[in-house]
Amino acid sequence: MFKPVLSIIKMGIKEGVAYRPQMLLTLISFPIFFLTQFFLWTSIFGDSPNTSIAGFDLTQMVGYYIVGLLILVFTYSHITTELHNGIREGHFIKFIIKPISYPFFSFWIIIGGRILAFVMEAIPLLFVVGLMLGFDFFLTPNLTLFLISFVFAFFINYLLSLIMGTLIFWFTNPNGITWIYRLLRYFFAGGILPLTFFPEIIQYIILLTPFPLMYFIPAFLFVGNNVILGIEITPLLLLIYGAIQLIIFSLIAYFLWRRGVKTFQGVGA
Amino acid sequence: MKTYLRLLSLKISSRLSYKLDFFTTLISSLLWSLASPLFIILLYQSGASYPDWNFNEILLFIGIYTALFGLGRAFFYNFFFNTGADVRTGYLELTLIKPVDELVLLLGKSFDWESLSEVLAGSLIAIYAFIQLSLSPNIFLFLVYIGLALLFYFSMILLISSLIMKYVQVTRLIEIVERFMDIASHPKNVYPRVVQTGFSIFIPLFIISYYPASALIGFELVYPFTIILTTLIFFMLSLYIWRKSIKNYTGAGG
């Protein structure tokens, strides 16, 4: 069990190495993103009579977007596109006859890719953030909570990407639906603004979806906040909240995968 | 022009062969275009604001940005991806031997009908804000800036498309353009003076939204004519680099 997993992780790293220039481009785009957020929020806070907006001070607000972007880099999963292309072009068929399942294989490939991304993208980015916001920024008071939420973010993102990938079993071209999913993820995960900017009723509704765990909750915790809607986020509460989501989406992914593979006919192989 | 229009009609026919995908993409484009207005609404509701911009002014700004962004996506965005794909598959060689300008063929093939919903959403937001503000704008200057904004967007796409011809697998170059567009999605005065000057004189990024919106609102413009000249120079330079890349192109796939 351990040996095949290690081999797949190595494959994932090798696959990532082929896209080195792509990863290096992050080193240009990330500082632009960082500086835009920094100037924008400095200007907005400078104009505001309050030192806190929606529960965030200036450093927390800039930090929220930076940590959010790093979470996206770490939890990135290309399984939806890979599966769509694999089935459209027919080379998915090789997984039907292999003694290894595609979700298992792709999971470890992603882990391999993320290990490489950590070295090539995240370490330089963390260094840039440290230089600009000060290295104290990484001394979060909610480290345990952040790590728990980050693990959930990774798994939930993987499961939802897999679920979106399975749509190709029933639709010839599910790109539009995939874009609607990405949109919901962006809106409800707190990508536009932290969820504390939304009206309370909307916050309650959004917290019932899996999206806040993928961005908002880890970033919110990292910058030192741990109370939302008057509820204190404790490790136990976070574990229960994440576990429920994980079980629900694992079951949905499992069910859709089983049904999808049965439907698959290997056209184009 | 005739070839371009013919390609556009072929494109809509091919997109409509996947009706569900076409309409879901149309809806998602429309909803995506609401992200920036939602940001503004939530920000102003929280009591915060952009310095020196009232709610309707910033709504007008963001409406113009959204409409221009949509136009850019409709006409040019896919140009980059199609060039990259054609280089990888070797199809670019076939395009180059055709008796029509390769820019016309690639642009026609790249048109994205769904993004027109963003143009619609942005225009409606801008019109609403414009009515609320009851302005007496400089329409001529506004139209000039709109045309130049599109030209600048195209120039950025041309530049990265020239690079993808050489380095093939660098599709994430588009992220650099997107990051630049993020900068342009906020008013110029949120940035330090050096950034304001740099993106007005050297790289005319603020032509994308700040200048057209300011021409409508009546804000006093700094470098109003320099930016016109810079945008034209930027375009000429991009076109020159593109033509040079095409000339030096030796094929990568096929």
Q: Is B245 a residue whose pLDDT tops 80? A: yes
| Spatial distance between the Cα atoms of B149 and B208, rounded to a whole number of angstroms | 5
Nearest by CB to B48, from A44, A173, A187: name it: A44
**pLDDT tens digit sequence for A126-147:** 888 888 888 888 888 899 999 9
Our CA-based measurement puts residue B198 at a distance from the nearest CA of chain A, in whole angstroms, of 14
A173 with B18: Cβ contact below 8 A:
yes
**pLDDT tens digit sequence for B55-109:** 999 999 999 999 999 999 999 999 999 898 888 888 888 888 888 888 888 888 8
> Predicted confidence band at B161 (pLDDT cuts at 50, 70, 90)?
very high
| Spatial distance between the Cα atoms of B89 and B208, rounded to a whole number of angstroms | 33
Nearest by CB to A193, from B42, B50, B182: name it: B42
| Spatial distance between the Cα atoms of B97 and B32, rounded to a whole number of angstroms | 38
Our CA-based measurement puts residue A74 at a distance from the nearest CA of chain B, in whole angstroms, of 17
Model pLDDT, residue A132:
80
Closest CA in chain B for residue A30 = B179
Of the candidates A162, A164, A216, which has an alpha carbon nearest to the alpha carbon of residue A188? A216
Name B223's Cβ contacts closer than 8 Å, sequence gap at least 6: B200, B201
> Do the beta carbons of residue A15 and residue A111 sit within 8 Å?
no
Positions in chain A short of pLDDT 50 = none
Q: What are phi and psi of A5, to 5 degrees?
A: -60, -45
Give me the residue spans of the domains in chain A: 2-263
B24 with A177: Cβ contact below 8 A:
yes
CA distances from A54 to A45, A89, A230, B47 (A): 12, 48, 13, 9
> Do the beta carbons of residue A189 and residue A245 sit within 8 Å?
no
Q: Can you read off the two tokens belonging to residue B143? A: 């139209």
How many Cα atoms occupy the beta-carbon half-sphere of B184 within 13 Å? 28
Q: Is B226 a residue whose pLDDT tops 60? A: yes
ipTM of the prediction: 0.89
Highest mean pLDDT among A2-11, A12-21, B8-17, B198-207: B198-207
Cα maximum dimension of chain A: 65
**pLDDT tens digit sequence for A218-245:** 999 999 998 999 999 999 999 999 999 9
- Rg, chain A, Cα only: 20
B50 with A47: Cβ contact below 8 A:
yes
Interface contacts A/B by beta carbons within 8 Å: 114
| Spatial distance between the Cα atoms of B49 and B210, rounded to a whole number of angstroms | 17
Q: What is the 3-state secondary structure (H, E, C) of chain A?
A: CHHHHHHHHHHHHHHHHCCHHHHHHHHHHHHHHHHHHHHHHHHHHHHCCCCCECCECHHHHHHHHHHHHHHHHHHCCCHHHHHHHHHHHCCCHHHHHCCCCHHHHHHHHHHHHHHHHHHHHHHHHHHHHHHHHCHHHHCCCCHHHHHHHHHHHHHHHHHHHHHHHHHHHCCCCCHHHHHHHHHHHHHHCCCCCCHHHCCHHHHHHHHCCCHHHHCHHHHHHHCCCCEECCEECCHHHHHHHHHHHHHHHHHHHHHHHHHHHHHCCCCCC
Give me the residue spans of the domains in chain B: 29-248
